[in-house]
Structure 1
Amino acid sequence: MKGIIFTEFISIVEEQFGLEISQKMFDHANDTGVYTAVGSYDHRQLIKLIMSLSHITNIPAQQLQQTYGRLVFPTLLKTLPVPDIESDDTFSFIEKVEHHIHIEVKKLHPDVTPPKFVFSNKTQSTMTMDYHSARCMGHVCMDVLEGCANYFNQSLTIAMQPMNTSQSHVRFSLTLNGD
């Protein structure tokens, strides 16, 4: 997993909870906390940090993942390898992530395996999207989708359905809410 995911997580923890809680999280996880945005790291270390933060704050790990997903979207948007990619709405942007951005990410970083999105049943106001990832971070994905909708000033209702017990395959049913 690219280091920017880690560095942004750490920044969000520091902003939301403060440096003391951040240090407690690292201590509890037995982690040095040394990450660079351009490095590559094992995704299990991020999960360990989330679980440690959950233990310290008594906030469910699922809720922490969702908050992170929503807050990290603007930063991820700024780091896209395709800076001129234009979209007018949430659905077209999500499709471009799979059909353009993930392809460019793999060209730039051959060792990276971004999640795969498979789209079906798309209308102007609804979309079904299957998320496939060995990292099993569907809750993060769900709120990255929410962050995307917020960016486009759209309201989105998201239903998340795990398709297997590991949650490496999750189906999202997305509905744009009327203005």
Structure 2
Amino acid sequence: MKGIIFTEFITIVETQFGLEISQKMFDHANDAGVYTAVGSYDHRQLIKLIMSLSHITNIPAQELQQTYGRLVFPSLLQALPIPDIESDDTFSFIEKVERHIHIEVKKLYPDVTPPKFTFSNQTQSTMILDYHSARCMGYVCMGVLEGCANYFNQSLTIAMQPMNASQSHVRFSLTLTGD
């Protein structure tokens, strides 16, 4: 997993909870907390940090993951090679992530394995999105989807359905509820 995911997570923890909680999180996870945006790290270390933060704050890990996904969206938007998004809306941008952005990210960083999205049953106001990732971070994906809708000033209702026990495959039913 690229280091930007870690550095943004740390920044969000420091902003939302403060430096003291951030340090407690690192201590509890037995983690030195040394990450660079361009480095590559084991995703399990991020999960360990999330679990430690959950233990310290008594906030469920799924809620922390979802909040992180929502809050990290603007930073990812700035960091990724994204062509012309002015004409996009939530659904067209989500499609662009799979059809363009993930391909470009793989070109820039051949060692990464971004999640895979497949789409079905799409209308102007609904979309079925299947998330496939060995990292099993569906709640982060859900938060990113919320962050995307916020960016495009659209209201989105999301239903999340794990398709297997590990949650490496999750189905999201998205419904735009207003403009």
Question: What band does the TM-score fall into relative to the shorter chain?
Answer: over 0.9
List structure 1 segments (4+ residues) > 6 angstroms apart after TM superposition: none
Q: Which residue of 1 aligns with 2:26?
A: 26
Q: Does 1:101 find its partner at 2:101?
A: yes
Determine the C-alpha separation between the residues in 1 that align with 2:119 and 2:40.
28
Shift of 1:83: 4.5
Count how many residue pairs are aligned between Structure 1 and Structure 2: 179
Shift of 1:5: 0.3
Q: Does 1:123 find its partner at 2:102?
A: no
Task: Report Cα offsets for 1:99-141 as digits up to 9, x if no partner.
Answer: 0000000001010000000000000000000000000000000
Q: Which amino acid aligns with 2:135?
A: R
Secondary structure of the 1:122 match is: coil
Shift of 1:81: 1.8
Q: Which residue of 2 aligns with 1:74?
A: 74
Is contact 1:87-1:93 (8 Å) kept?
no
Q: Does 1:5 find its partner at 2:5?
A: yes
Q: Which amino acid aligns with 2:155?
A: S
Secondary structure of the 2:173 match is: strand
Determine the C-alpha separation between the residues in 1 that align with 2:9 and 2:147.
15
Q: Which amino acid aligns with 2:26?
A: F
Identity of aligned residues (%): 90
Determine the C-alpha separation between the residues in 1 that align with 2:97 and 2:86.
11
Aligned residues: CA RMSD: 0.9
Matches for 1:11-90 after TM superposition, within 5 Å: 11-90=11-90
Q: Which amino acid aligns with 1:35?
A: Y
Determine the C-alpha separation between the residues in 2 that align with 1:178 and 1:138.
24
Is contact 1:157-1:176 (8 Å) kept?
yes
Determine the C-alpha separation between the residues in 2 that align with 1:89 and 1:127.
13
Secondary structure of the 2:157 match is: strand
Shift of 1:96: 0.2
The answer for unaligned runs of 5 or more in structure 1 is none
Q: Which residue of 2 aligns with 1:150?
A: 150
Determine the C-alpha separation between the residues in 2 that align with 1:151 and 1:143.
12
TM-score by length of 2: 0.98
Task: Report Cα offsets for 1:57-95 as digits up to 9, x if no partner.
Answer: 111001100110110000000011234455420000000
Task: Report Cα offsets for 1:25-58 as digits up to 9, x if no partner.
Answer: 0000000000000000000000000000000011
Q: Which amino acid aligns with 1:2?
A: K
Secondary structure of the 1:130 match is: strand
The answer for unaligned runs of 5 or more in structure 2 is none
TM-score by length of 1: 0.98
Q: Which amino acid aligns with 1:158?
A: I
